[in-house]
Amino acid sequence: MTYQHDAHLANIVTSYCTCLAGVMPLLFTALGKRHPARWIFAYFCILLTGIPTVWLHTVEGNRVASFFDVGSNIFLAWALLVAVSGDFMRPRARGILLAVVTVLNGCAWAWLVYEIGAPEKVPLLTFGEFGQFYVGECALIANCWIVAGVFFAYRRRITRKALGLLYLVIAMFLIGMFLATASNSTISFGILPWHATWHIVGAFGFIAMWVFNDVRFNEATRVGAPMPQAQ
């Protein structure tokens, strides 16, 4: 059964988890071993996207808030791609990848602007009454899959210990993607607000991602290999 007001309250409260998932990696990095600047920027973008997420869930249905929420999430995924591609890819290949993804994301942001005043928002993928994905959300998922794809393609350059953490992060976001298929107001069994649970799983996924990065960067330092530098 769905209790819309209860789900929306849960969404608001758990949105702060996303903000905290940006604050904590920044604090961890400031207090511990340094990470490349592009990753610090990505951690900041987690906090940046948490702010409109809180706003969106306080004004459910507001299209301007939806634009900033989905748009900032796409920007975060792009920042993650900038970071991971800088760790592994050659400059030319990285430049081509980022150029293509940036253009496609620009098209997605343009569509989000159109949706603000569109007569009706039409989902791109639907799951019946359970939920749906709109164009912006599909673009976000595509960006995340590209990030995961770059990591997977260069997995042989990641130590075994860190690789296990990478698989954990990917698994957490796969679970999150499944949870995100439900509408914002869906509650199952009286205790499972799907979208709010996605906020929590996603927040811990971001923190796990920082742990993964910290392990691989510190391992590189211990064995005398250079830490990945900005390219």
Q: What is the pLDDT of residue 201?
A: 96
| Residue with more model confidence, 199 or 218 | 199
In a domain, 228, yes or no: no
Place of tokens 């071993």: 33
| Chain CA centroid to CA 187, Å | 23
In a domain, 226, yes or no: no
Q: What is the CATH number of the domain that holds 52?
A: 1.20.1070
55 CB contacts (<8 Å, ≥6 apart)? 65, 68, 69
Tell me what the mean pLDDT of segment 202-226 comes to: 82
Least reliable range by pLDDT among 35-39, 44-48, 92-96, 222-226: 222-226
Is the predicted pLDDT of residue 6 greater than 70, yes or no?
Answer: yes
3-state secondary structure of 193: strand
Which of 127, 119, 135, 111 lies closest to 183 in space, CA to CA?
A: 127
pLDDT digits (tens, 9 = 90+) for 30-76: 998 889 999 999 999 999 999 999 999 998 888 999 999 999 999 99
162 CB contacts (<8 Å, ≥6 apart)? 212, 215, 216, 219
Tell me what the mean pLDDT of segment 177-194 comes to: 88
- Cα 146 to Cα 24, 48, 140, 225, 226: the distances in Å are 25, 21, 10, 26, 25
Tell me what the mean pLDDT of segment 211-217 comes to: 94
For the chain, give the mean pLDDT.
Answer: 90
In a domain, 141, yes or no: yes
Cα–Cα distance measured from residue 108 to residue 103, given in angstroms and rounded to the nearest whole number: 9
In a domain, 230, yes or no: no
Cα–Cα distance measured from residue 217 to residue 33, given in angstroms and rounded to the nearest whole number: 9
Q: What is the pLDDT of residue 220?
A: 56
DSSP per position, 78-93: HHHHHHHHHHHS-HHH
Q: What is the pLDDT of residue 221?
A: 52
13 residue type, one letter: V
| Chain CA centroid to CA 76, Å | 6
In a domain, 164, yes or no: yes
Q: What is the pLDDT of residue 137?
A: 94
134 half-sphere exposure, CB direction, 13 A CA radius = 20
Query: Over pLDDT 70: what percentage of the chain?
Result: 93
Q: How many domains does the chain have?
A: 1
3-state secondary structure of 121: coil
Is the predicted pLDDT of residue 5 greater than 80, yes or no?
Answer: no
Cα–Cα distance measured from residue 212 to residue 207, given in angstroms and rounded to the nearest whole number: 9
Cα–Cα distance measured from residue 135 to residue 141, given in angstroms and rounded to the nearest whole number: 10
In a domain, 34, yes or no: yes
Q: What is the pLDDT of residue 219?
A: 76
Q: Which domain holds residue 77?
A: 4-221
Is the predicted pLDDT of residue 3 greater than 50, yes or no?
Answer: no
Cα–Cα distance measured from residue 42 to residue 210, given in angstroms and rounded to the nearest whole number: 10
Check if the beta carbon of residue 196 is closer than 8 Å to that of residue 14: yes
In a domain, 150, yes or no: yes
In a domain, 231, yes or no: no
Tell me the pTM.
Answer: 0.89
Check if the beta carbon of residue 65 is closer than 8 Å to that of residue 52: yes
| Residue with more model confidence, 111 or 5 | 111
Supply 22's token pair. 């940006």
pLDDT digits (tens, 9 = 90+) for 108-146: 999 999 999 988 888 888 887 788 888 999 999 999 999
Check if the beta carbon of residue 65 is closer than 8 Å to that of residue 56: yes
Instruction: Give, as one character, the DSSP assignment of residue 226.
Output: P
